[in-house]
Structures are given as C-alpha cells and as structure tokens.
Amino acid sequence: MQRSGRVYEQAFEGWLIERRVPYVPMDQARRRLFARSRIKTFDFLLYPRGGGILLAELKGRRFKGTTLAGLRGLECWVTREDLRGLYQWRRIFGVGGEEVRAAVVFAYRLEHVDVESDGHEVYDFGAARYTFFMVDVDDYGRFMKPRSGRWQTVTLAAAVFRRVAVEAGRYLLGPGAPADRASGRVLSDYADGSGKPDSPRDAGGGPR
C-alpha cells in the first residue's frame, strides 16, 4: 500500500511538471547524499522562475470545507524539527553566495469535489483535487505559536495564515519572472557523501 504522504508529494510533483518549474525531489536515493547529517532533510529543491533556489518542506493536509473563501479551516501545523531543518539547510546552501530561500508547502487535498475555489487554483491529480499554498520559513518562525508540547508541533493563527500564505503559482511563477532556468550547482556540492550529481528536472520530468 502506498503511504499517504507520498500521494501528496506526487500531486505536487505533477503540478511542478505541468507548470514547468525545474525541481529535484529528495527521494530516498538522494537522501543518502545527506546520510551523515543529523539535520532533517527537506522534500524538494525548487528553482523559481524569479531566480535563486528554494528549499521546500511539503506537508499534506485534508480540507473538509466547502469553500476556500477566506482560507478558513486550513490546517497549517508543522514540527519544530521541520523549521530547524529548513533554517539549517538554507544556511548550508547559501555558503556559496547564491540566493537561497526556504518555505513550507501545504498541499491540501479537497474532500469535496465541488468545493468553491474562490478564485484559488485547484489542481486535479488522479481522482483527487488539490490546492497548494506556501509560507516562507521566516514568516512561519516569526508568527508561530505552540500546538503540542508533547509532539513539538507549532501552528499559525488562522488570521496570520491568511496574511502570510501565498499560492504556489504566485510564489514560484511570479509575474514578470524570467524564463525557466536552473542553477549550475547540484546536490552533491552540499553533501559530505559521494555519488552521481543530480540535476533539476525539466517540464517533462526528466533530467536536464
């Protein structure tokens, strides 16, 4: 049986391919590059059209509401370890002077197929529908509040989420962004292990 988290990753990956966003998924093979590190690994290395690179931690959540108006009812909790990992990897990737950002991607699976989108992008993948929002790690860290001490989770107040969350399309494909491009650096530049370098995937899903 396929683990549920992987379904969200595949949906987001499908969206990236269709929107022609170059990316590198941090699957198990690539995670071995970071095997010597104790830092939690992120899920995707993205190349926004506006330039630079983006480290993304993906969180799959279900949305049971009937409308996206006001972005109400969208769970947006993460673990403190998720945020620490993004902060630390951003610092590591930025050593060479390249512009590096980090963000949490919330992939919401819409439980109602006829949900009112209120103008927000809805992506059909398989038999399900999804919408994707992103929150910059600095915004999250600035406004987060405790959720569970036992599980070391934090969250954002609904009003804060509405203020800082950005649709994935706007975040990655911003207006006036330059044509698709990819950094010349590869994952193995940042890892202690050896292995074949990885290249960003193009719109067709294959390596450049």
Strand stretches in the chain, DSSP E: 23-25, 44-46, 53-63, 78-79, 100-110, 123-125, 128-136, 145-148, 153-155, 166-167
Residue 109 has pLDDT above 80, yes or no: yes
- Eight-state DSSP code of residue 8: H
Side-chain-side CA neighbours of 173 within 13 Å: the count stands at: 12
CA distance 38 to 6: 22
Domain assignments of the chain as residue spans, ordered by start: 4-189
DSSP state at residue 207: B
- CATH number of the 4-189 domain: 3.40.1350.10
Q: Does residue 155 surpass a pLDDT of 60? A: yes
**Residue 204 has what pLDDT?**
43
Query: Which pLDDT value is given to residue 32?
Result: 60
State the pLDDT confidence band at 33, using cuts at 50, 70 and 90: low
Per-residue pLDDT band for 95 (boundaries 50, 70, 90) equals confident
- pLDDT at residue 38, rounded to an integer: 79
In which band, very low, low, confident or very high, does the pLDDT at 182 lie, cut at 50, 70 and 90?
very low
Q: What is the mean pLDDT of the chain?
A: 84
